[in-house]
Structure 1
């Protein structure tokens, strides 16, 4: 779901392509399991009677809707969010039904930094901050996998691009 190959410019190559870190799905998985467990327990403990089947079907339907809301939608949001670093730009794509695109030309990047909490260091993720000249200024991307490697790659490419622009007497 990243940057399409036909969207690349002349002499443009993909360096990195990734989604947000998998840890962003932990809460989603937890709440989906809770929804299944609650629905299962409720269905199991429905007392016998003429309406038992109807009540079980209603609880199952509510459970399915809960799983879709707390499980499927965040998962689809994760799958459809992608980051692509090329040798010319940093591209972000997201959205399930409607799409959002943002490209930052690497020649406009002023600073690249990252932050990690202890848990993020253990999971090898973090927050990447990309500052660029222009209207939108700063871009903060949370839950980036291998954030230090990504920051290093982005910085390396920016340095390569700007080295040719230096004019020295």
Structure 2
């Protein structure tokens, strides 16, 4: 799914659009399986009692709340978190009911680096660290294919034709 064009400036194009890596959904999926298994086990325990229908309603309500809190909320949070690199800036947006975000213009980026440990390397993700001109380094965790994103972002920052010296005959800068 492309990032909404109405949020971009004129002439701005999306280069990369990523959600956090799917590994962030492993714990919510495990929580879902545990809640369902525990609910089925407890429903089986109370099935021989005279008040089993009331117990099943209570178990269903508690199980439903746990599934929403432990599985659905993280899934929606994952889906509404965006890491976007455009031709003019890096954007990060997150949140469901209240949104927050940060934009870093390409011209303000001083350096880009990445880091990933063994588990991140196995899953193919990592942390992207962007140092801008005036702020502390900003870390973006669980970026899928972090090495490729790092390389692409580095090229976007450093391949600005207005900043490059293109020697021609007589060593004059290239005129656009």
Deviation at 1:2, TM superposition (A): 6.6
Q: Does the 8 Å CA contact 1:124/1:145 hold for their aligned counterparts?
A: yes
Question: Helix, strand or coil: the match of 1:96?
Answer: coil
Q: Which runs of 5+ in 1 are unaligned?
A: none
2-structure distance, mates of 1:47, 1:63: 17
Q: Which runs of 5+ in 2 are unaligned?
A: 166-171
The residue aligned with 1:159 is 158
2-structure distance, mates of 1:105, 1:119: 31
Establish whether residue 68 from structure 1 lines up as the match of residue 68 from structure 2.
yes
Q: CA RMSD in A?
A: 1.9
* Matched residues, number: 167
Question: Where do residues 1-169 of structure 1 align in structure 2 (5 Å cutoff)?
Answer: 3-134=3-134, 136-161=135-160, 164-165=162-163
Deviations 1:58-86 (A, max 9, x none): 01110111111110001111000011100
Deviation at 1:11, TM superposition (A): 2.0
2-structure distance, mates of 1:117, 1:3: 29
Higher relative contact order, structure no. (Cα contacts within 8 Å, ≥ 6 residues apart): 1
